[in-house]
Copies of this chain bind each other. A is one copy, B any other.
Amino acid sequence: MTPATLQLEKDFLTYVNKMTAYNEALGLIFWDLRTGAPKKAIEQRSQVIGTLSAELFELSTSDQMASFIAGLSAHKDKLSEVTVKTLEECQKEYDRNKKIPAEEYREYKILQSKAESVWEEAKEAGDFSLLAPYLEKLVETNRRFTHYWGYEGNPYNTLLDLFEPGMTVDILDSVFTKVQEAIVPLVKKIQTKQQPDTSFLHAHFPEEAQKKFSLEMLKRLGFDFEAGRLDEAVHPFATGLNPGDVRVTTRYNEHDFKEAIFGTIHECGHALYEQNVSEKLTGTPLSTGTSMGIHESQSLFFENFVGRNPKFWEHNYDLLKEFSSGQFDSVPIEDFVRSINESKPSLIRVDADELTYCLHIIIRYEIEKGLINGDIKVMDLPKIWNEKYEEYLGIRPENDAEGVLQDVHWSGGAFGYFPSYALGYIYAAQLKKAMLKDLPDYEELLADGNFKAVKDWMVKHVHQYGKLKKPLDIITDSTGEGLNPQYLIDYLTEKYSELYSL
């Protein structure tokens, strides 16, 4: 490598560090807005967000960036792996941002922000027709963008790639059909069965006690409190500002402790991922989860494969009893475990249980794929939505607020995002299967509260790589095969057949 290239690599990494710094500042601002910034802060804070975002956009599309890409791409074989992957990330973003005419991009940003506030009104009023014209424009713009960006096979592939690099319609069609064909009959059978008693789950559980229990749960699962914190948020989330500062949030419902505890365990999964990305990636865009789907595999793994596993509660049920106000004292652990694994079709995605969740996602996938390909018209959405819910889940929304208007994603222009949730489940089941080979005593580890071995396995096979590896490489390298929904299907079939004596 010539001294000039060496210097260029150095300058590039310094430049990228600067972009990472802007991202981190923005991350902190968003965390603050969602956890406790005073109401009147928002107007001026939006200016700050605008300024920093504009600077970041400028950095990602500058002539300087273009010359880094041009100058370094020719020498990839001589650059460090971190530089090469960082360069590829930067190039992807550069292309994505540069290929859209600036004026169209600006208009789209305005449209997005308007549509999100119209969505709030429309949901409030339960009136899809308010949102429809905005949604039409959003779909149309996204279709146009896929042409600017280019696509292989199907325009929707390009949108999928934004959230799950490498994912395609062909793969998803095949995978989701298998999942749906396996789950729908299970769901239907369960509806003929007796549901468990869950009344004790709704006894009063004071917020302060839930908070203490959540903190203890995070500690037990290996969350590093020197590198993170727990706060409250209306819409819980986790955010990795840097590997030394990963923040989770939860919310406390005093009459349904499940929200806080399973929410906390879910976000803990995301957080463990962010806390354990290798330090050598710090300051680069690689220092975060590799995709939405892999991220979700971590949160869902911890929420369901750990948190809803009966063995997990063998270790933690006493702690729950200690922190709650006597509501579980006369409930045998079997009944408790049964109650937190109740499966019951719901209209609302975020309230869905482990078994039915994927069906909510598949409905959304089929619809958004149709929208982007022009097979579905925006005006027909409520009808199609309701029919699909009836078909897959056996229930029908009574209004659009509990139907097509329930999620913010499409109003924000996020088409291609939903599949990640279901992919997360599928990945999680695959990882669990692979983990069992290394940790055959998995169930005993949970029963003994030895979560460290489980976490360490994830760090070794998933977390440490950040974005150094693509999602499918993570899965292939750690499980020995590509995306395969069979493990999830087997897991759900076995678990729910036993729970409901099917």
Q: Which residues of A contact B (CB under 8 A)?
A: 17-18, 20-22, 24-25, 28-29, 32, 36-45, 47-48, 50-52, 55, 224-229, 241-245, 282-283
Contacts and interface: CB of A to CB of B under 8 A. Distances in A.
Contact of A38 (B32, B47, B225): B225
A197 to B, nearest CB: 36
A40 B245 contact: yes
Give the interface centre of A20, A21, A224 by most chain B CB atoms within 10 Å: A21
A239 to B, nearest CB: 12
A41 B283 contact: no
Nearest to A43: B244
A236 B93 CA distance: 42
B44 A245 contact: yes
Contacts of A39: 226-227, 244
Give the interface centre of A43, A243, A245 by most chain B CB atoms within 10 Å: A245
A245 B51 contact: no
A241 B41 contact: yes
- State the number of copies, please: 2
Given A29-B25, A245-B37, A44 B226 contact: no
Nearest to A23: B48
Given A40-B245, A41-B241, A226-B39, A28 B32 contact: yes
A247 to B, nearest CB: 8
A18 B242 CA distance: 25
Contacts of A38: 225-229, 244-245
Kindly list the 5 A-B residue pairs having the minimum CB-CB distance in the complex, ordered from nearest. A40-B244, A41-B245, A21-B51, A44-B242, A40-B227
A48 B32 contact: no
A226 B18 CA distance: 34
A404 B354 CA distance: 64
11 contacts: A18-B51, A21-B51, A24-B45, A25-B29, A28-B28, A36-B229, A38-B225, A39-B244, A40-B226, A40-B227, A41-B244
B29 A44 contact: no
Give the interface centre of A22, A42, A51, A228 by most chain B CB atoms within 10 Å: A51
A242 B283 CA distance: 29
A283 B245 contact: no
A249 to B, nearest CB: 13
B244 A42 contact: yes
Contacts of A224: 40
Contacts of A225: 38
A186 B364 CA distance: 79
A128 to B, nearest CB: 33
